[in-house]
Amino acid sequence: MNLVLFGPPGSGKGTQAERLRNKWKLRHISTGDLLREAVAAKSELGQRVESVLASGQLVSDDIILGLMRDAILAVKKDATLSGWLLDGFPRTVGQAKGLDALLAETGSRIDAIVVLDATRDAVIERLSGRRTCTQCKTVYHVKYNPTRVDGVCDKCGGKVVQREDDRPETIARRLDVYEAQTRPILAHYEGRVATNVIDGDLPVDDVTAKIERVLHSPGGRTAA
């Protein structure tokens, strides 16, 4: 089974991706991981990535699609995996069209799209309440998972802070980008790929249960 997971920042994609990966024996493919792996491998493509990142520029869609191609082909050769899960890609309609061509080239397809449709207020509350340890990177939340001592990590005693990208004004900008660039991708796949919209404001376990239900159901667009 090959899946694409969509949703705004803070909708719970990371948690659900991990659960989907384990249950369905999927390779979780994220652009960030692909870039880091390419640089570490020191491949020809990895050297290009390293050069681009060192210059402070954005990695081109062509490079990202090249890494995606290699990852998808690797999954097809791995008998321990039943498919892949794309998280954070495609981000634009242009990338979606590039992915279409790549899948045609590799003889692959997207079997289903899962959209975690969280409200703006819920996302801002989740992300703005996050706090991260500067040393061990453990993540807390001021409301749902606070530290025992304010500002001090329970695990290592390090300083716990709010990351810059978790500030409300930054979150608002990220949500605006998602609405302008990423949400229109769903229209690109309309009528071609089964799209399942899940209420991302629900508790984590309820979201997981709804995803599992729609993935076991016959194809077609649903809302849950």
Active site residue 213: no
Can you tell me the mean pLDDT for 43-60? 82
Active site residue 36: no
Active site residue 163: yes
Active site residue 13: yes
Positive or negative, the CA dihedral 209, 85, 25, 18 is negative
- Annotated catalytic residue: which of 137, 159, 163, 192? 163
- Annotated catalytic residue: which of 21, 69, 126, 130? 130
Instruction: Provide the 8-state DSSP code for 109.
Output: -
Give the DSSP H or E segment for 65.
Answer: helix 61-77
Q: Inform me whether the pLDDT recorded for 219 exceeds 70.
A: no
- Annotated catalytic residue: which of 36, 48, 97, 174? 174
Which residues does 1 contact at the CB level (< 8 Å), separation at least 6?
Answer: 24, 26, 82, 83, 111, 112, 215
Domains with residue ranges and CATH for the chain: 3-119+169-223 (3.40.50.300)
Q: What is the pTM of this model?
A: 0.84
How far is the C-alpha of 218 from the C-alpha of 159, rounded, in Å?
A: 49
- Annotated catalytic residue: which of 13, 21, 131, 210? 13
Can you tell me the mean pLDDT for 116-124? 93
- Annotated catalytic residue: which of 19, 48, 91, 97? 91
Which residues does 179 contact at the CB level (< 8 Å), separation at least 6?
Answer: 8
Q: What is the pLDDT of residues 83-97, one digit of tens each?
A: 999 988 999 999 999
Amino acid in the structure at residue 3: L
Q: What pLDDT band is residue 222 in, cutting at 50, 70 and 90?
A: low
